[in-house]
Amino acid sequence: MLNNAHAFAASLAATLMVSIVVFQAGDGTYGAVPADEIDGDEVQVLVEIDPWA
């Protein structure tokens, strides 16, 4: 599952040209959202993908 989230995040970052954060929620699921939308209170940030780096 983490590999899928990471691949999705890399694709999303390249498409939108924004930083994308891969996170793990409290229930164990993984997700990816733009970095400016992550609240951080309820999730564990695993990696941030920056398309400009």
3 pLDDT exceeds 80? yes
1 pLDDT exceeds 90? no
Domain extents for the chain?
2-49
pTM of the entire predicted model:
0.84
Report the C-alpha gap between 31 and 2 in whole angstroms: 9
**Res 22: pLDDT:** 93
Report pLDDT digits (tens) over 16-43: 999 999 998 888 899 899 999 887 667 8
- pLDDT bin (cut points 50, 70, 90) of residue 47 is very high
Give 53's DSSP letter: -
Report the C-alpha gap between 23 and 5 in whole angstroms: 9
